[in-house]
Amino acid sequence: MRRPQHHPLRCCMQKNRTDKNIHHPPPMGGLPDDLVIFILSKLSSSVSSPSDFINVLLTCKRLNRLALDRLVLSKLGARAFAVKPKNWSDSTDRFLRRCVTAGNVEACYTLGMIRFYCLQKRKSGLSLMAKAAMNSHAPALYSLAVIQFNGSGASKNDKDLRAGVALCTRASLLGHIDSLRELGYCLQDGYGARKNVAEGRRLLVEAHARELALVIREVTRSTTPSNSSMLTWLTRRLRNLACHSGSFLPLLEGYGGYSVAVQPVNWFMREWFESGRGRLGEGLRLCAHVGCGRPETRPHEFRRCSVCGKVNYCSRGCQALDWKLRHKTECSEFLPWVVVVENDGVGGVAAVVGGGNGDVVA
């Protein structure tokens, strides 16, 4: 017996009638606004990229309204502000300012760095970074310390080494590794503080140990067999640091491709200038450390390597990190004792690097 054939249009009409009878509840329907805002505020701190937050805004009108609540904006993490320079616009600036008004410390720091270094709005940028620093934001404290060490945005005579050391001290107490490393060099060299070689070296070892512990944490997140030997090697290095904390240890030579996380705003600054979105003034250079991105605000502000003369650094910490990451093998004329010059445009102050490991002694 021949089966009856159904017309395609008739099937489609029946399907549409069936779909109309299905009730589709709105997103988070039935939940009060206060509860939805509370949920969004808890999730906002774990946002991994700006697109994650934008997707929430585009879901529906209700979530768009509730996601822009002050409580939600105040909890957004640094990755939510990891915007690309090519996407920077007035709307991006307005969104960051809205987050600043909501009390978001990360937004204060991010917008402050962008304004100070990229947009050359020194006063407002410095004010925003200071606001973040007053809320115990460690990267903001360290950035202000670098500005004090270099006299950024002003003249060389405006350097305040003691203020830089004080800011590094406060940030290091909050667990900031770069500040701890910088403070160790300051004490070791007597730069802005009374010279204390033993204490300076102890702080450097502690900074290396904390940095290595962070790398181990990243490796342990992946349980693939290829990481087992790396994890064993890293654990031995960490134990070695712990056992010899009273003696000087050289900088760690690298972690097999792993590196400590860099602030998104540092990537933004480097890409801002390298992509051509922002232009450096005549005679101005970027810090050579790939994870920094800070530009000079006046000619000859940063230190340069007097051996190759090709790299410049905004701080001792950046110089040490770049040395172990790449410059040790790139320096054109490697010598057992390297001289680094703090160039002031006239003659510069020579500084000796001991043992050929690239550690600057100011």
pLDDT category of residue 311 using cuts at 50, 70 and 90: confident
Paired tokens of 63: 């979530």
Which among 78-87, 305-314, 349-358 has the top mean pLDDT?
A: 78-87
| Pick from 28-32, 138-142, 160-164: least confident | 28-32
Residue of 305 and 290 predicted with greater confidence: 290
pLDDT above 70 (res 327): yes
16, part of any domain: no
CA angle 31, 35, 38 (to 5 degrees): 145
Residue 7 to residue 26: CA distance in whole angstroms: 34
156, part of any domain: no
pLDDT above 90 (res 126): yes
Any bridge partners for residue 351, and if so which?
340
Identify residue 258 by its one-letter amino acid code.
Y
Residue 360's pLDDT is what? Answer: 43
Residue 197's pLDDT is what? Answer: 93
Identify residue 176 by its one-letter amino acid code.
H
Residue 351 to residue 355: CA distance in whole angstroms: 13
188, part of any domain: no
Sheet of strand 303-305: strand arrangement: 312-313, 303-305, 338-342, 349-353
Query: What average pLDDT does range 114-122 have in this prediction?
Result: 94
Residue 346 to residue 273: CA distance in whole angstroms: 27
Alpha helices (H) along the chain: 8-20, 33-44, 50-57, 61-67, 70-74, 90-101, 105-113, 122-134, 138-150, 161-173, 177-189, 197-220, 228-243, 264-274, 316-322, 328-330
pLDDT category of residue 347 using cuts at 50, 70 and 90: very low
72, part of any domain: yes
pLDDT category of residue 278 using cuts at 50, 70 and 90: confident
- Phi, psi (degrees; rounded to nearest 5) at 30: 90, -20
Residue 348 to residue 362: CA distance in whole angstroms: 11
106, part of any domain: no
Residue 76 to residue 105: CA distance in whole angstroms: 9
Instruction: Return the residue matching tokens 């992946």.
Output: 222
41, part of any domain: yes
Residue 349 to residue 224: CA distance in whole angstroms: 50
Residue 345's pLDDT is what? Answer: 41
The number of distinct structural domains making up the chain is 2
Q: Residues 41, 75: contact at Cβ < 8 Å?
A: yes
Domain range for 307 is: 269-329
281, part of any domain: yes
Q: Residues 358, 324: contact at Cβ < 8 Å?
A: yes
Q: How far is CA 122 from CA 73, 74, 99, 111, in A?
A: 25, 24, 20, 11
Residue 360 to residue 319: CA distance in whole angstroms: 7
Residue 132 to residue 7: CA distance in whole angstroms: 68
pLDDT above 60 (res 277): yes
Q: How far is CA 66 from CA 54, 57, 69, 75, 292, in A?
A: 13, 9, 5, 13, 35
Residue 307's pLDDT is what? Answer: 77
pTM: 0.77
273, part of any domain: yes
Residue of 101 and 262 predicted with greater confidence: 101
Query: What average pLDDT does range 320-348 have in this prediction?
Result: 60
Q: Residues 252, 208: contact at Cβ < 8 Å?
A: yes
pLDDT tens per residue across span 201-246: 999 999 888 888 777 776 666 555 555 554 455 455 545 544 444 3
Residue 255, classed as helix, strand or coil, is strand
- Phi, psi (degrees; rounded to nearest 5) at 286: -85, 155
